[in-house]
A and B are shown apart, each in its own frame.
Chain A
Amino acid sequence: MTTTLAPSVPRAHKPGGRDRAIGAIIVVVGAFVTWVFGIGSSGRANTTLTFDPVNISGTVPWHLANLTVSSRWTNVALGLTIIAVGVEILWRRAQRFVTLRLGGVAVFFFFALLIWAGRTHGPSQVGFINVTSILVGGAVVAMVLIFGSLSGVLCERSGVVNIAIEGQFIGGVFFGAVIQSETNNWFYAAIGAAVVGALLGSILAFLALRYQSDQIIVGVVIVTMMSGLSSYLNLQVLTPYPQYNAGNLAPNLPIPLLAKIPVLGPVLFDESGFFYVMIIMVALISFALFKTRWGLRVRAVGEHPDAAAAVGINVIRTRYINVIMGGAVAGLGGIALIGFQGQFTVGITQGYGYIALAGLIFGRWRPSGAVVAATIFGLSVYLADNLQTYQIPVSTEILGMFPYVITIAVVSGLIGRVRAPAADGLPYKRD
Chain B
Amino acid sequence: MPKFRKPNLRRISASPVLVTFFAVALGLVVGAIVIVVTSTPVLDAWRGIFHSWGAPGHAINMTFNHVGAAYRDMFTGSIIDPQTFWHALTSGKGWPAAMTPISETLTYATPLVIASIGVGICFQTGIFNIGANGQAIIGGIAGTAVGAFVHLPTIFLIPITLASGIAGGMLAGAIPGLLKAWTGAHEVIVTIMLNYVIANFLIFTLLSTSLQLPGQQNDLSRTLRPGAILAPIFGASTGLRVNYGVFIAIGVVVFAWWFLERSSLGFEYRVSGANPNAARVSGIKPRRVVIGVFLISGGLSGLAGITQVAGTTHYIDGGFLIGNAGIGFTAITVALLGRNRPMGIVWGSLLFAALGVGGRSMQAATGIPLDLATVIQSAVVLFVATPALVKELFRLRATSTSAVQLATQGWSS
Interface residues of A (CB under 8 A from B): 1-3, 18, 161, 163, 203, 207, 211-218, 220-222, 224-225, 227-229, 231-233, 235-237, 346-347, 350-351, 354-355, 357-358, 361, 395, 397-398, 400-401, 404-405, 407-408, 411-413, 417-420, 424-426
Question: CA separation between A235 and B379, bound complex, in Å?
Answer: 20
One of B11-19, B81-89, B182-190 at the interface: B182-190
Closest to A230 in B: B371
B193-224 vs A, CB cutoff 8 Å, 1 = contact: the mask equals 11011001101100110000000000000000
Residues of A contacting B388 in the complex (Cβ-Cβ under 8 angstroms): 211-212
- Contacts known (A221-B333, A398-B200, A412-B185); A354 close to B375, Cβ less than 8 A: no
Q: How far is the CB of B54 from chain A (nearest CB, A)?
A: 28
Residues of A contacting B407 in the complex (Cβ-Cβ under 8 angstroms): 1
Residues of B contacting A232 in the complex (Cβ-Cβ under 8 angstroms): 34, 38, 369, 371-372, 374-375
B1-50 contacts to A, CB under 8 A, are 34, 38-39
B406 close to A229 (CB less than 8 A): no
Question: CA separation between A22 and B286, bound complex, in Å?
Answer: 24
Q: How many interface residues does chain B have, given as a range? A: 35 or more
Closest to B176 in A: A408
Residues of B contacting A404 in the complex (Cβ-Cβ under 8 angstroms): 193-194, 196-197, 200
B194 close to A408 (CB less than 8 A): yes
Closest to B127 in A: A1
Residues of A contacting B130 in the complex (Cβ-Cβ under 8 angstroms): 220
Further pairs besides A1-B286, A361-B411: 10, Cβ < 8 Å: A161-B411, A211-B403, A221-B385, A232-B38, A236-B38, A237-B38, A354-B192, A405-B197, A424-B409, A426-B410
Q: How far is the CB of A299 from chain B (nearest CB, A)?
A: 16
Is the C-beta of B396 less than 8 angstroms from some C-beta in chain A? no
Question: CA separation between A357 and B191, bound complex, in Å?
Answer: 13
Residues of A contacting B373 in the complex (Cβ-Cβ under 8 angstroms): 228
Closest to A365 in B: B411
Question: CA separation between A203 and B30, bound complex, in Å?
Answer: 14
Chain B interface mostly: helix
Q: How far is the CB of B288 from chain A (nearest CB, A)?
A: 15
Interface residues of B (CB under 8 A from A): 34, 38-39, 126, 128, 130, 179, 183-186, 188-190, 192-194, 196-197, 200-201, 203-204, 207-208, 276-277, 286, 323-324, 329, 332-333, 336, 368-369, 371-375, 377-379, 381-382, 385-386, 388-389, 403-413
A217 close to B406 (CB less than 8 A): yes
- Contacts known (A2-B276, A412-B183, A426-B410); A216 close to B188, Cβ less than 8 A: yes
Residues of A contacting B183 in the complex (Cβ-Cβ under 8 angstroms): 18, 412-413
Q: How far is the CB of A373 from chain B (nearest CB, A)?
A: 13
Output the residue of B333, B375, B379 with the most chain A CB within 10 A. Answer: B375
Question: CA separation between A214 and B372, bound complex, in Å?
Answer: 24
Q: Which of A400, A417, A424 contacts B410 (CB 8 A)?
A: A424
A354 close to B189 (CB less than 8 A): yes
- Contacts known (A350-B196, A351-B196); A1 close to B408, Cβ less than 8 A: yes
Residues of A contacting B192 in the complex (Cβ-Cβ under 8 angstroms): 351, 354
Question: CA separation between A215 and B406, bound complex, in Å?
Answer: 9
A358 close to B189 (CB less than 8 A): yes
Q: How far is the CB of B219 from chain A (nearest CB, A)?
A: 10
Question: CA separation between A390 and B126, bound complex, in Å?
Answer: 45
Residue contacts A-B, CB under 8 angstroms, 17 given: A1-B410, A161-B411, A212-B403, A216-B128, A217-B404, A217-B406, A224-B332, A224-B374, A225-B378, A225-B382, A231-B371, A232-B372, A232-B374, A237-B38, A351-B196, A411-B185, A417-B184
Question: CA separation between A193 and B189, bound complex, in Å?
Answer: 25
B375 close to A401 (CB less than 8 A): no
Closest to A425 in B: B409
Closest to A235 in B: B369
Closest to B206 in A: A397
Residues of B contacting A215 in the complex (Cβ-Cβ under 8 angstroms): 409
Closest to A217 in B: B385
Residues of B contacting A408 in the complex (Cβ-Cβ under 8 angstroms): 179, 185, 189-190, 193-194, 197
- Contacts known (A211-B389, A221-B385); A216 close to B200, Cβ less than 8 A: no
Residues of B contacting A229 in the complex (Cβ-Cβ under 8 angstroms): 34, 371, 374-375
Residues of B contacting A225 in the complex (Cβ-Cβ under 8 angstroms): 374-375, 378-379, 382
Closest to B382 in A: A221
Question: CA separation between A224 and B379, bound complex, in Å?
Answer: 10
Q: How far is the CB of A308 from chain B (nearest CB, A)?
A: 17
Closest to A225 in B: B378
Q: Which of B207, B378, B385, B411 contacts A224 (CB 8 A)?
A: B378
Residues of A contacting B371 in the complex (Cβ-Cβ under 8 angstroms): 228-229, 231-232, 235
B410 close to A228 (CB less than 8 A): no
Q: How far is the CB of B189 from chain A (nearest CB, A)?
A: 5
Question: CA separation between A233 and B204, bound complex, in Å?
Answer: 31
6 interchain residue pairs of minimum CB distance: A228-B374, A225-B378, A232-B371, A397-B204, A235-B369, A412-B185
B184 close to A413 (CB less than 8 A): yes
A236 close to B368 (CB less than 8 A): yes
Residues of A contacting B203 in the complex (Cβ-Cβ under 8 angstroms): 397
Closest to A241 in B: B40
Question: CA separation between A355 and B316, bound complex, in Å?
Answer: 28
Question: CA separation between A214 and B273, bound complex, in Å?
Answer: 14
Question: CA separation between A9 and B192, bound complex, in Å?
Answer: 32
Residues of B contacting A211 in the complex (Cβ-Cβ under 8 angstroms): 386, 388-389, 403
Q: Which of A228, A357, A401 contacts B378 (CB 8 A)?
A: A228
Question: CA separation between A346 and B374, bound complex, in Å?
Answer: 14
Q: How far is the CB of B47 from chain A (nearest CB, A)?
A: 16
Question: CA separation between A411 and B194, bound complex, in Å?
Answer: 12
B375 close to A213 (CB less than 8 A): no
Residues of B contacting A358 in the complex (Cβ-Cβ under 8 angstroms): 189, 193
Question: CA separation between A232 and B373, bound complex, in Å?
Answer: 9
Residues of A contacting B411 in the complex (Cβ-Cβ under 8 angstroms): 161, 361, 418, 420, 424-425
Q: Which of B189, B204, B368, B369 contacts A395 (CB 8 A)?
A: B204
Residues of A contacting B372 in the complex (Cβ-Cβ under 8 angstroms): 228, 232
Q: How far is the CB of A400 from chain B (nearest CB, A)?
A: 4
Residues of A contacting B382 in the complex (Cβ-Cβ under 8 angstroms): 203, 207, 218, 221-222, 225
Output the residue of A227, A231, A233, A404 with the most chain B CB within 10 A. Answer: A404
Output the residue of A211, A350, A419 with the most chain B CB within 10 A. Answer: A211
A207 close to B413 (CB less than 8 A): no
Closest to A156 in B: B411
Question: CA separation between A203 and B185, bound complex, in Å?
Answer: 27
Q: How far is the CB of A393 from chain B (nearest CB, A)?
A: 12
Closest to B184 in A: A413
Residues of A contacting B194 in the complex (Cβ-Cβ under 8 angstroms): 404, 408
Question: CA separation between A235 and B201, bound complex, in Å?
Answer: 28
Residues of B contacting A407 in the complex (Cβ-Cβ under 8 angstroms): 189, 193
Closest to B363 in A: A235
Q: How far is the CB of B378 from chain A (nearest CB, A)?
A: 4
A217 close to B336 (CB less than 8 A): yes
- Contacts known (A1-B407, A216-B188, A417-B412); A221 close to B378, Cβ less than 8 A: yes
Q: Which of A1, A161, A417 contacts B276 (CB 8 A)?
A: A1
Q: How far is the CB of B61 from chain A (nearest CB, A)?
A: 21
